[in-house]
A and B are shown apart, each in its own frame.
Chain A
Amino acid sequence: MSNSEPQPLVSIRRLSKRYVQGSLWSKRFEISALKNVDLEVATGSNLALVGESGSGKSTLAKCLAGFEEPSSGEICFEGRNLLALGAKQRARTRRSIQLIFQDAASSLNPGFTAEDILLEPMVIQEEGAPEERKRRCVEVLEQVGLARLLLRRWPHELSGGQRQRLVIARALIMKPRILILDEALTGLDLSIQAQIVEILRQLRKAHGLTYLYVSHNLGLMGAIAEEIAVMHEGKIVERQSVQQIFRSPQHPATSALLAAIPGGSLAFVSRPERPTI
């Protein structure tokens, strides 16, 4: 799990997360979702965190995005330990780490127009003059391939693909360094999935964004990521390039995920030009 970069963008060390279940009246018991996880993500990398349900991949993503408080360990972002920062600084750093959810429809508040959704973070931070904010809204919309006409629309008036693009646009407003895509491509139909993958590819090229995918679908991740880390029972059990994962999986959990790909995995690896983003 070493990385040749001098300073990784994200460096997670010995991260653990335990959930305590039970109430005042019932017996308490602990569930370890993460067990001493180490993970480094280099700037500009394109890494997928893959594992079955309950393997801890989503918990890891949520800890990184600041939605869960880890029980112990360190999360360093650009060399600074997020968990040791004060609330204000942490909130500022957090904007550089944006999470894209699976269900775009529910991650957009139905009571706000696309414009309100994009403007709000800038208004709160008093960023730029009103005209400049508006210009930035149009700019990010164009980056995700949406027409400015859609600014006046409500989320329910948009199609599934348009909603997911709006969610990506909202994340881009914050000028993030890393996007965590938590099953963000799951549930979209194939043509829309291809469009979103293409947009992500272009964004990465233009802004040097770092992507951390989180998914249970090794087949899909093989098509869009460059590196894959496999999680199993709260630990990262294997991290390899996509080719190596598909050719010579080291851990039984990886083999199980490979076996679950419909149509088999070998045909996929032997394809001459594999599209990556």
Chain B
Amino acid sequence: MKYLLRRLLHSLAVLFGISLLSFLFAGMAPGTYLDEMQLNPQISPATIAVLRAQYGMDRPLPVRYLRWLNSVAHGDWGYSFAYNLPVAPLIWRRAKNTLWLTLPATLLAWLVAIPLGVFAANQSGRWGDRIAEAGTSTILVVPDLILALALMIAAVHTRTFPAGGMSSVNVQKGRIADIHDLLWHLTLPLITLALGILPVFFRHVRAGMLEALASPSLQAARALGLPPSRILFKHALRLAANPVLSLFGLSMASLLSSSLLIEVVMSWPGLGAMLLEAILARDLYLVIGAVMFSTLLLLAGNLIADLMLYTMDPRIRIGPSQ
């Protein structure tokens, strides 16, 4: 409990620090949302001055920061200039779509990476390992963009899957039909994303397992005549859990960013396209909101990973008593 509380306080401090830094950097970046309007001869400088005052851009940075903090406290997370709406609901609507894509993709990548990594480490140096290594290395060097385009071309030619979007226009209404339609649209971006992140996970699991398998404790387990499956899954996997769980926490952090490119290419209505526009238009609070949301996921992922480590590793749970 004390551990959890300490970790939560720590997370809060990180969140605060990140918000401060994002504000500082955003303030240092050249240009504002109103710059483009100033070039428009139809908008008078007086109007722009009014807008500037209305958005609070004429105030010094600390005041703007405090105002933003106040809006965070009210659940708005700032105000988007471009959409004329509070940031939080705006981001959440799009982030939901992104999470629909990234959560199952990350899960799928882990579900494949763990058994494949265990298998490859166990087969180390033999053909099974070499094929797994070569396969994942190939995927690793192919850019996500090419992978996405190749799958889309295949989809267009075979007409098995839609080439983009998240839902069909003329789909009949109904819950089951909706879910079916969503899954149908989800398949290609999901596969592309899962393939993109799989090699990194696989390599981590394999390396962790290789290290565990070479450890004297595993040699001792073999000398005691324990069956190979027990050695692999009960002893080695537990030893390898530490680095793998840490990576799991980090993988949560990239849930919002890992799919940016795929969202744009496969026209998935996620956060990616909106964030790109917001950055180009200097829609400051929307960008900061996205950064904060990403940070929240990172902290949550790390917290989950730490709690899992806490329950699994007695060295963290119970300090040395000597």
Query: Can you list, as one digit per residue, whether each of A13-33 has a CB less than 8 Å from chain B (1) or not (0)?
Result: 000000000000000000000
A107, B217: Cβ atoms under 8 Å? Answer: yes
Q: A65, A98, A110, A174: which contacts B314 (Cβ < 8 A)? A: A110
B225, A109: Cβ atoms under 8 Å? Answer: no
Is A95 in the interface zone, CB < 8 Å from B? yes
Contacts from B to A (Cβ < 8 Å) = 215-227, 230, 235, 238-239, 312-315, 318, 320-322
* Complex contacts, A174 vs chain B, CB 8 Å: 224-225
* Complex contacts, A125 vs chain B, CB 8 Å: 225
A170, B216: Cβ atoms under 8 Å? Answer: no
**A-side interface residues, number (CB < 8 Å):** 33
Return A173 CB to nearest CB of chain B, in Å.
8
A113 to B216, alpha carbons, bound, how many Å?
17
B225, A95: Cβ atoms under 8 Å? Answer: yes
A–B pairs, 23, beta carbons within 8 Å = A67-B222, A97-B223, A98-B223, A99-B220, A99-B223, A101-B216, A101-B220, A106-B217, A107-B217, A107-B220, A109-B218, A109-B235, A110-B314, A110-B315, A111-B238, A111-B239, A120-B226, A124-B224, A124-B225, A156-B314, A156-B315, A167-B220, A170-B224
In the complex where A98-B223, A124-B227, A157-B321 touch, is A103 in contact with B216 (Cβ < 8 A)?
Answer: yes
* Complex contacts, B220 vs chain A, CB 8 Å: 99, 101, 107-108, 167, 170
Is A249 in the interface zone, CB < 8 Å from B? no
The 5 closest A-B pairs by CB, nearest first: A107-B216, A154-B314, A121-B224, A111-B238, A109-B217
A156 to B322, alpha carbons, bound, how many Å?
9
**Can you name the residue of chain A whose Cβ is closest to the Cβ of B216?**
A107
**Can you name the residue of chain A whose Cβ is closest to the Cβ of B235?**
A109
A15 to B322, alpha carbons, bound, how many Å?
45
Query: Can you list, as one digit per residue, whether each of A141-170 has a CB less than 8 Å from chain B (1) or not (0)?
Result: 000000000000110111100000001001
Return B25 CB to nearest CB of chain A, in Å.
42
A124 to B322, alpha carbons, bound, how many Å?
31
A91, B225: Cβ atoms under 8 Å? Answer: yes
Return B241 CB to nearest CB of chain A, in Å.
8
A214 to B265, alpha carbons, bound, how many Å?
63
Is A66 in the interface zone, CB < 8 Å from B? yes
Most buried by B among A109, A120, A121: A109
Is A94 in the interface zone, CB < 8 Å from B? yes
* Complex contacts, A271 vs chain B, CB 8 Å: none
Other A-B pairs beyond A109-B235, A170-B220, 9, CB < 8 Å: A66-B222, A94-B223, A94-B225, A101-B219, A110-B314, A156-B320, A157-B321, A173-B224, A174-B225
* Complex contacts, B219 vs chain A, CB 8 Å: 67, 99, 101, 107
* Complex contacts, B239 vs chain A, CB 8 Å: 109-111
A156 to B226, alpha carbons, bound, how many Å?
23
Task: Give the contacts of A48-87 with B (CB-CB under 8 A).
Answer: 65-67
A142 to B292, alpha carbons, bound, how many Å?
58
**Can you name the residue of chain B whose Cβ is closest to the Cβ of A162?**
B322
